[in-house]
Amino acid sequence: MEKRTFEALGVSQEIIKAVAQLGFEEASPIQTAAIPMLMSGVDVVGQSQTGSGKTAAYAIPAIEKIDPAMTAVQILILCPTRELATQVADEVYKLTAFKRSIHCVPIYGGASYERQLFELKKGVQIVIGTPGRLIDHLERGTLKLNQLKMVILDEADRMLDMGFRDDIQKILESTPPERQTVFFSATLSKPIRDLINRFSRNPQMVKIEQKELTVPTVEQWFYEVQPRMKTEAFIRLIDFHGYKLGIIFCNTQRMVDELADALLAQGFSTDRLHGGIPQGQRTRVMNKFKNSEFEFLVATDVAGRGIDVDNLELVVNYDLPYDPEDYVHRIGRTGRAGKKGMAVTFVSGRDIYKLQYIERYTKTKIQRGVIPSAGEVEGKRAELLYTKLIKTLEAASFKKHDVIMDRLLEAGHHSTDISSALFSLLLGFSSDVPALPKKEKLLNSREREHEDAHFARHKNYPGGRGDGKSRSRDSEGYRGNSSSRPGGERRAFGKKNFSPNSSQPPLRKYSKAGSR
């Protein structure tokens, strides 16, 4: 479907100014197809991939239908998670920037009832919420839906997967029968179709056909790695490629906590996000991540829903998702707005068959990669430092240190030895690390399975050090506990601790077993 300008879609000047302020010049395919239908008043069922602009596709017509003079709830948007509800609310706030008399409020569990009650009593036209908390307000009588004009179910399939079917039915039964009903769902399973048939009237289908479900700007790679070696493999990939902002998805809360602790111990500024963390802490973690105050967020699928961060470079499937739809949602976090992104997936054993199913589902070929060796990582860091040094020398953009140089020369040290010592300090080399080989053979994944020592830093723990000693929390290089870790000390990472534009990677020492 051809893209069209928002002017051609017949939206108001206030909306046109709002989308222009957001930097959009033309509507996406799902917006081009859905907006005219929704503004005509018909019920709609939409299918579109993550990151396609579906939020604006239903939010713009919803905003246009509102009577600003009436402070009753006129639009209800249901979302599966708190994070997605917050993201949708942010989008609505931006789209109503020039419609001052229109107000919206997000309602979800884990947040203060008092604040939500205050907003509802003040009068809002748009309510965005999760089914559980919406039911609470309906039962308390604090949410009135008798003047509702439109109800929207965003990611309806996900809400059913999470067990919200009864809540959704109860909410829809509480709305006026003449209201407009909108479903957006990645898939149309039988439970979804049953819901559509029961609660909508002659719905129009909007489906954006695409050859690939995944974002074409995302480069996808998989690595065959034994489970106990994943942490080492991840660290080597980060140090080799120099990624500075990414999300790592795990399947369980326990794995999220273990991986976040292991990365913290290796000097990464890292935080975590999962359903076992109080909502207030989750909100603070998301705000910090959006502001690039730490490097890597370790999260579960449910907690990671609704994550919308600019300039996200990397998504890692530390655990292969159970559902191919989750794979699409995960990697859709990066490669947005035409920017390049990288998706990395770790597999082992029978995971390879699941990966093949994901390839068939997404109609995409995922490339096989090889984890770089310790020597290759150190060589890459040395090459980057060499390139940077050449540029600095050619530009003469450095401060003279003649006094220190004279003292070292007078002490009998040769200039080449001084330079070598400085390089060793910058690259983190020490006397007990062997010299880098000039050329190394890249092992394939099967050969690496028989080379466990290639990855091992600690004989008992995959996140440990190569010297066989555990790194204490007071040792140099440890950055403290994750700010969202339940219990224990919490240390927040400020912007002074991490800069996404920094060119100097954290210094990590590789085991002797990693150099051959």
- The reply to whether 181 and 300 lie within a common domain is no
Contact residues for 115 (Cβ-Cβ < 8 A; gap 6+): none
pLDDT band at 52 (very low <50, low <70, confident <90, very high): low
Half-sphere exposure (CA, 13 Å, Cβ side) for 479?
24
CB 92 within 8 A of CB 41: no
What number is the average pLDDT over the span 300-321? 80
Q: Is the pTM of this model over 0.75?
A: no
pLDDT for 465 equals 35
Parallel, antiparallel, or unpaired for β 341-347 and 218-224? parallel
**Would you state the structure tokens that stand for residue 68, as one six-digit string?**
């600003």
Percent of the chain predicted with pLDDT > 70? 77
pLDDT band at 112 (very low <50, low <70, confident <90, very high): confident
**Would you state the structure tokens that stand for residue 125, as one six-digit string?**
């036209």
Q: Which of 141-155, 185-199, 208-222 has the highest mean pLDDT?
A: 141-155
Report how far apart the first and last C-alpha atoms of the chain are (Å, whole number).
Answer: 55
- The reply to whether 199 and 236 lie within a common domain is no
- The torsion angles phi and psi of 472, rounded to 5 degrees, stand at -75, 160
What number is the average pLDDT over the span 383-405? 81
Determine which helix (DSSP H) or strand (DSSP E) holds 76, and give its type and residue range. strand 75-78
> 51, 3, 24: which is closest to 336 by C-alpha?
51
Residue 127 domain-assigned (yes or no): yes
What number is the average pLDDT over the span 231-235? 92
* pLDDT tens per residue, range 470-488: 333 333 333 334 444 444 3
> 243, 248, 233: which is closest to 376 by C-alpha?
233
What number is the average pLDDT over the span 271-295? 87
Reply yes or no on whether the pLDDT at 16 is more than 70.
yes
Percent of the chain predicted with pLDDT > 90? 38
Residue 380 domain-assigned (yes or no): no
- The reply to whether 108 and 28 lie within a common domain is yes
- The reply to whether 25 and 101 lie within a common domain is yes
Residue 457 domain-assigned (yes or no): yes
Q: How many domains does the chain have?
A: 2
Residue 165 domain-assigned (yes or no): yes
- The reply to whether 200 and 259 lie within a common domain is no
How far is it, in rounded angstroms, from Cα 109 to Cα 56? 24
Reply yes or no on whether the pLDDT at 217 is more than 50.
yes
pLDDT band at 215 (very low <50, low <70, confident <90, very high): low
Residue 473 domain-assigned (yes or no): yes
Q: Who wins on pLDDT, 376 or 498?
A: 376
- The reply to whether 32 and 176 lie within a common domain is yes
pLDDT band at 400 (very low <50, low <70, confident <90, very high): confident
Contact residues for 39 (Cβ-Cβ < 8 A; gap 6+): 10, 11, 61, 64, 65
How far is it, in rounded angstroms, from Cα 501 to Cα 515? 30
Residue 455 belongs to domain with CATH number: 3.40.50.300
How far is it, in rounded angstroms, from Cα 335 to Cα 342? 7
pLDDT for 379 equals 79
387 to each of 380, 423, 436, 440, 446, how far by Cα in Å?
Answer: 11, 13, 18, 21, 34
What number is the average pLDDT over the span 281-305? 85
What number is the average pLDDT over the span 24-33? 80
Q: Who wins on pLDDT, 354 or 501?
A: 354
Q: Which of 27-36, 191-200, 422-431, 452-461 has the highest mean pLDDT?
A: 191-200
How far is it, in rounded angstroms, from Cα 103 to Cα 495? 33
How far is it, in rounded angstroms, from Cα 9 to Cα 2? 12
- The reply to whether 190 and 253 lie within a common domain is no
Reply yes or no on whether the pLDDT at 447 is more than 50.
no
pLDDT band at 214 (very low <50, low <70, confident <90, very high): low
pLDDT band at 305 (very low <50, low <70, confident <90, very high): low
Determine if residue 7 is left, alpha or beta; phi over 0 gives left, psi from -120 to 50 gives alpha, anything else beta: alpha
- The reply to whether 41 and 114 lie within a common domain is yes
Reply yes or no on whether the pLDDT at 293 is more than 80.
yes
Domain containing 484 equals 218-374+441-514
- Select from 177, 207, 237 the last residue of a domain: 207
- The reply to whether 189 and 285 lie within a common domain is no
- The reply to whether 245 and 360 lie within a common domain is yes
238-243 contacts at long range (C-beta below 8 A, 24 or more positions apart): 238/268, 239/377, 239/380, 239/381, 239/505, 239/508, 240/372, 240/376, 240/377, 240/380, 241/342, 242/384, 242/505, 243/313, 243/314, 243/342
Residue 401 domain-assigned (yes or no): no
Reply yes or no on whether the pLDDT at 388 is more than 50.
yes
Match 């310790």 to its residue by tokens: 374
Residue 37 domain-assigned (yes or no): yes
Residue 273 domain-assigned (yes or no): yes
Please spell the DSSP secondary structure of 223-248, one letter per residue.
EE--GGGHHHHHHHHHHHHT--SEEE
- The reply to whether 457 and 506 lie within a common domain is yes
Please give the sequence-ordered ranges of beta strands (E in DSSP) within 148-252, or none if there are none: 150-154, 180-184, 204-207, 218-224, 246-249
- Select from 151, 184, 207 the last residue of a domain: 207
* pLDDT tens per residue, range 128-173: 999 999 999 999 999 999 999 999 999 898 899 889 999 999 999 9
pLDDT for 11 equals 92
Residue 52, SS3 per DSSP: coil
Residue 354 burial by Cβ neighbours in a 10 Å radius (0-12, 13-18, 19+): middle
Reply yes or no on whether the pLDDT at 462 is more than 80.
no
How far is it, in rounded angstroms, from Cα 60 to Cα 96? 9
Task: Name the H helices within 242-314.
Answer: 253-265, 279-290, 301-304
- The reply to whether 338 and 484 lie within a common domain is yes
